Chains A and B, each alone.
Chain A
């Protein structure tokens, strides 16, 4: 169960250049990247975000470059999960590979406001908005995705499989 406040980015196609601008790609430390998360679309995000908060986004979140720095910047900033209408392919993949939650839930962004108290109930398959009382089902995660998340990401998943084979 993940609970935190919502940061809403409802515009479609929020790209990785906006999540973490290329000028900061010279670093790959999460804390360092976190200082610039979302800065080209929201100067306030970094000062407002608290550990455990959620990003609620629209369509095609994370399109553009393959930089995993986008996931690291958000996680470094304390974001516990991104719930979007849909995700761009590489961002989604990078998130899961890092054991970072990226959940698809169409329609959520339109009915959520900045600062709403949210709860992501993975077992129940729903997102609850405690501020408005709304409840929505999210698109179920596939078994493979669940395995990846459970392992804590791709590298531990690979390591586990190797051990099992050895």
Chain B
């Protein structure tokens, strides 16, 4: 008789050739997908060279894109991407996405059908947790881990305990999956899920698109989590099927699986949330947030710059103008999203309102380029971290919110409840999904 296990335990079990695993055990797991970008990969490549390892374990498991500082922001970053490109060529890695086809890796990888339910995935980047939305075990690692996995196709993991979140009810208008995850993080704290897997269930999650689900799993690490995970369902299967013909295994948690804790959340009771500086767990319902004046509104990052997010922001911005003195910056997460937004006329809406739109990049999310903050400047942002210095000057302030709240704040010039603009605004997400899914050929 096998012992009851959670999805995470089942995936780690299947990938380490064991009958069963328990939280706390160390396993050596096979890695199905390794994602690589220009910041953390070159150090890993150096390490491999030092060890005399000239070939990666399996180039077909690796997906590479430059994303943090693209297009190259200075000579140093140009050198990082140059090294990345040389390595890709030398190793014969086919899944390389060059500028124009590139994107923030956590958004690009699912969009191109590289992540499948039941897989194990790592990347030298903490927001790899995003991929857990597909029912995969996905977690961020450092460059040494990356080097070890590239060399051997395996990596050690401590099997995490799992926390279960049952989310029922429908999100009210003007409230999004970003508000839900900010709420969860404010409830459990920035280390409330330290070392654990955050597993989501419930009618609210079932009703969400893959885009919205990714936003939730993306921010697992902001609660200290090792991973976020959701059971793959029909929505997952159709998203994946539109992008790849490869087979996959769907795991679900056993009914009597053990959880370290269980939380019930009623999504219908939520309101828009803003996380105040300088911790993602400082979430407050918008009614309790002072309408402080902002210098910048940023819509971008792996958390909230997918097509649905851009549509929601455009819905509020359409026909209005960004407040005087506010810089509004829109950065689609991938090149395909960029093209889709262009086709849908969203850029016209943004630019007529006084926003600037850039190519896909991590950019200002980590204080890189394309919107770095100056001293004492205040930014409301759809990104995931508002730590001291995260988006630029250590004395700048970052407020985290949904794309709708950021858009509404850009219009008024101070932190604003998006619902005041939504009553009469047409829902750009309402028509049948117009993503590039169908048009995008399989790999």
Contacts and interface: CB of A to CB of B under 8 A. Distances in A.
Interface string A135-158: 000000010100000000111001
B102 interface: no
Interface string B118-156: 000000111010000000000011111101100110001
A90 interface: yes
Interface string A99-127: 00000000000000000000000000000
B389 A63 contact: no
A26 B76 contact: yes
B10 interface: no
Interface in A48-88: 59-60, 63-68, 71, 86, 88
Given A26-B74, A90-B221, 10 more contacts: A13-B191, A17-B366, A18-B389, A21-B367, A22-B390, A40-B388, A64-B221, A65-B385, A66-B142, A68-B40
A60 B191 contact: yes
B26 interface: yes
Contacts of B124: 66, 68
A129 interface: no
26 contacts: A12-B191, A17-B389, A18-B389, A21-B367, A22-B366, A22-B367, A25-B39, A25-B68, A26-B69, A26-B77, A59-B191, A60-B194, A64-B387, A66-B40, A68-B40, A68-B43, A68-B143, A71-B142, A90-B140, A94-B142, A142-B26, A144-B26, A154-B144, A155-B148, A158-B148, A158-B152
A97 B142 contact: yes
Interface in B136-190: 140-145, 147-148, 151-152, 156, 190
B224 interface: yes
A41 interface: yes
Contacts of B39: 25, 67
Contacts of B221: 64, 90
Contacts of A162: 152
Contacts of B148: 97, 154-155, 158
Nearest to B78: A26
Contact of B194 (A66, A86, A94, A144): A86
B46 to A, nearest CB: 7
B226 A17 contact: no
B191 A159 contact: no
B17 interface: no
Contact of A63 (B68, B224, B368): B224
Contact of B144 (A23, A86, A155): A155
A66 B126 contact: yes
Nearest to B141: A66
Given A28-B42, A60-B224, A64-B387, A13 B145 contact: no
A161 to B, nearest CB: 9
A93 B366 contact: no
A138 to B, nearest CB: 18
B195 interface: yes
A155 B49 CA distance: 12
Give the dominant DSSP class at B's interface: loop
A133 B148 CA distance: 42
A164 B226 CA distance: 31
A85 to B, nearest CB: 10
Interface residues of A, number: 39
Contacts of B368: 22-23
A94 B144 CA distance: 7
B224 A93 contact: no
A15 interface: yes
B194 A89 contact: yes
B239 to A, nearest CB: 26
A1 interface: no
Contacts of A158: 148, 151-152
Contacts of B128: 66
Interface string B2-14: 0000000000000
B145 to A, nearest CB: 6
Interface string B33-62: 000000110110011000100000000000
Interface string B216-254: 000001001010000000000000000000000000000
B394 interface: yes
Contact of A26 (B80, B140, B191): B80
B366 A65 contact: yes
Nearest to B25: A144
A104 B47 CA distance: 28
A89 B145 contact: no
Contact of B387 (A18, A28, A93, A94): A18
A98 interface: yes
A67 B40 contact: yes
A116 B68 CA distance: 40
B279 interface: yes
B144 A17 contact: no
A97 B44 CA distance: 12
A166 interface: no
Given A17-B389, A26-B76, A60-B224, A68 B144 contact: yes
Most chain A CB within a 10 A radius of its CB, from B68, B124, B152, B226: B124
Contacts of A60: 190-191, 194, 224
A88 B224 contact: yes
Nearest to B365: A22
B389 A21 contact: yes
Given A21-B389, A27-B76, A144-B26, A65 B145 contact: no
A144 B51 CA distance: 22
A88 B142 CA distance: 13
A15 B389 CA distance: 10
